[in-house]
Structure 1
Amino acid sequence: MKRCTWVEGQPEIYLNYHDNEWGVPVYDDHKLYEMLFLECFQAGLSWLTVLKKRENFRSAFDQFDPTKIQHYNETKVEELLQDPGIIRSRSKINAAINNAAKFIEIQQEHGSFSKYLWGFSDGTVIVNKDDQFTTTTDLSDALSKDLKKRGMKYVGSVTIYAYLQGGGVVNDHELGCFRHPDK
């Protein structure tokens, strides 16, 4: 089975992510929040690091429930900073709390986060057609700018482009990959 070249030789956890999640359109708000949460923690680190800690994050952060996370207090932050199973960055933990509240505000304004997110691409998956890859696009720039305007943190255009890829708004599987939609 031919995969994207960037995943060749990677551990099984990475192969599973590539094969079953990356580039698959997501419309479920809970899953979209989880993916945004993880992408924000990934900033400056490898995605493999985040994947390896994903289940620990799930346990430490109430199954990625933004309604609970938005209410975390300093005692909870200190508890999280002592958890070796997660990425222990005070600024990223505080951003996760802030972003949970902003995520809920977007849900309330638009009826769902999914409607908000997919509105940026008019509900269409953007498919890689030429194996020319980038780390940002006009779409990631626009979404990043809007999320920042709404008060979210760790949502720069590079992070948001990775989020769009992970959530399937953008399908950047290489042309020869079995997950490319033309296969």
Structure 2
Amino acid sequence: MADASAPMEPVFAVMHEDPPVKPAPKPAQVQGGGWRVVARRVLGLVFFLATTAAFVASAYRSRHSTRDLTLVIVTQYLGTVLWLCLLKLKQLRGDHTRDAAVVAVELRRGKIAVLVLSAALACTIAAQLILVVRGLALKLVMWGINVLVLGLEFHFVVFHKDAERVDPWPYLQELSPEEKV
């Protein structure tokens, strides 16, 4: 039995207590498994196998020309490193466990790496295409398009005010429970 000298707590005080607040789930917990994650991984594997097969076939066809073989190897290398940098950027954008200042610095470095790698890849491909095209006017048009695309990329990666918040593939994300309602 309870001690009669102890003060009794009113019933309404217990009933009106706020329920314990659960912390909001992190985005990785909201997404969970599901067929989209499996499909994304399968598509990544298919893409990797297709690019590897194309690289091997191109390297075999260009084995007698040093210039063509160098182009194939450099293009494959730049494309692979660019893809890895983009994956790192995606990982950094979803990282909410570390200090925001450190993540912001790493995001900035990652953006610069993506900018440099994509510019190098575009210039490598454009330089090879320029060798094939005849006519000075068409060559100037191709270089103009290349400079325009690189300028737009520079603007959107470095100067665009919403560059941190823009998700280029929002339809690949799993909907949160709030968005499903």
Q: TM (normalized to structure 2)? A: 0.30
Q: TM (normalized to structure 1)? A: 0.29
Larger relative contact order, structure 1 or 2 (CA cutoff 8 Å, min sep 6): 1
Asked which structure has the greater CA Rg, the reply is: 2
